[in-house]
């Protein structure tokens, strides 16, 4: 018979995409020298719009490509990550945006020293009609009830919430994006459990400044916590989980890998996936 024009892609093909994403992450002069944090945030914001009741949102359709969703306040600054991903898309035009962006999140975690995140391809590019309304992502000025409302809507529980929040080991706030300012940890390009350790064991005070209400560490005044971060130790159900992850990085890595692996599949009908079991991609 005729040779098919579109050949089925293998794990090796996706590993090449992984490697290409990994290769370009280091960027001298940008933030702390790496695009990994903003690339991880793109994967999360493209997935975290999911609503389990209506089964809308999530990573399937990569609707942040469109001006309305791209312009949602929570997505300010993610153009940096989308532009970077566009350079990868040019090299591998066959990959869907949803697969590309979620794979980017996997690369960001694994290449900064985090756990192996299970991932598999199958997302398809959607249309403007598939965009979700503004307000589905968390608002950093709020507290524990809001965080639960947002993450329970995606189908997560308290343990998942605390585990996923540990991603703030990476990156920083930008005054020209969210309005918040500064990194959470002293090593914002390595994935570790230090977010929990600092949150619990450092002394925090409100920062006196013109920007949005945020905390600073008393000692160096160089680190920050968001009001939503602080809610993880003022809430009696969240706090013991923070304490556990601060002491036990292995437990954090295990739980983060599971919750984030689930998060990046939100909104993707299972029959769309090209493999029955997710893959473990190799570090580059």
For ligand DDH, the binding residues (CB under 6 A) are 37-38, 40-41, 44, 77, 138, 140, 147, 164-165, 167-168, 170-174, 177-178, 180, 226, 228, 260
SS3 assignment for 51-80: ECCCCECCCCCCHHHCHHHHCCHHHCCCHH
Helix (H, G, I), strand (E, B) or coil at 283: coil
Nearest approach in angstroms of CB 254 to ligand DDH is 15
- Rounded CA gap, 233 and 198, in Å? 11
Nearest approach in angstroms of CB 162 to ligand DDH is 9
Q: Which of 44, 45, 168, 204 is catalytic?
A: 45
Q: By 3-state DSSP, what share of the chain in percent is helix, strand and coil, each rounded to 5?
A: 45, 5, 45
- Rounded CA gap, 158 and 284, in Å? 33
Nearest approach in angstroms of CB 3 to ligand DDH is 41
Radius of gyration of the chain (CA): 18
Cα–Cα distances (Å) from 31 to 38, 114, 165, 181, 231, in that order, read 10, 20, 21, 12, 27
Q: Which residue is nearest to ligand DDH (CB)?
A: 171
The question of whether 45 is a catalytic residue gets the answer yes
Nearest approach in angstroms of CB 159 to ligand DDH is 13
- Residue 266 in contact with residue 58, Cβ under 8 Å? yes
Q: Which of 44, 101, 119, 184 is catalytic?
A: 184
Tokens representing 79 are 């153009």
Nearest approach in angstroms of CB 284 to ligand DDH is 19
Which of 38, 42, 48 lies closest to 65, judged by CA?
Answer: 42
Helix (H, G, I), strand (E, B) or coil at 279: strand
Is 2 or 173 the residue whose CB approaches ligand DDH more closely?
A: 173
- Rounded CA gap, 165 and 181, in Å? 17
Question: What's the first-to-final CA gap in the chain, in angstroms?
Answer: 38
Nearest approach in angstroms of CB 208 to ligand DDH is 19
Number of alpha carbons in the 13 Å side-chain half-sphere of residue 119:
30
- List active site positions: 45, 184
């Amino acid at each position: 018979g005729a040779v098919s024009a579109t050949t089925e892609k293998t794990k090796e093909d996706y590993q090449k995409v992984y490697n290409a994403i990994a290769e370009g992450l280091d960027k001298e002069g940008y933030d702390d020298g790496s695009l990994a944090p903003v690339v991880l945030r793109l994967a999360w914001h493209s997935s975290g719009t999911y609503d389990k009741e209506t089964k809308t949102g999530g990573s399937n359709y990569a609707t942040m490509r469109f001006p309305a969703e791209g312009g949602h306040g929570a997505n300010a600054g993610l153009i940096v990550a989308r532009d970077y991903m566009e350079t990868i898309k040019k090299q591998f035009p066959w990959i869907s945006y949803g697969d590309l962006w979620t794979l980017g999140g996997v690369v960001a975690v694994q290449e900064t020293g985090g756990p192996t995140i299970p991932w598999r391809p199958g997302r398809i590019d959607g249309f403007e009609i598939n965009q979700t309304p503004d307000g589905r992502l968390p608002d950093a000025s709020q507290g524990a009830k809001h965080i639960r409302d947002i993450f329970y809507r995606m189908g997560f529980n308290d343990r998942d919430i605390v585990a996923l929040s540990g991603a703030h080991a990476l990156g920083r706030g930008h005054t020209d994006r969210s309005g918040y300012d500064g990194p959470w940890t002293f090593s914002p390009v390595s994935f570790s459990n230090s977010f929990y350790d600092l949150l619990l064991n450092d002394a925090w005070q409100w920062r006196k400044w013109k920007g949005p209400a945020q905390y600073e560490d008393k000692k160096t005044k160089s680190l920050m916590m968001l009001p939503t971060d602080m809610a993880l130790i003022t809430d009696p159900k969240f706090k013991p989980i923070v304490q556990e992850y601060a002491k036990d990085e292995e437990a954090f890595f295990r739980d983060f890998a599971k919750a984030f692996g689930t998060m990046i599949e939100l909104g993707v009908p299972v029959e769309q996936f090209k493999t029955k079991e997710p893959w473990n991609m190799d570090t580059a």
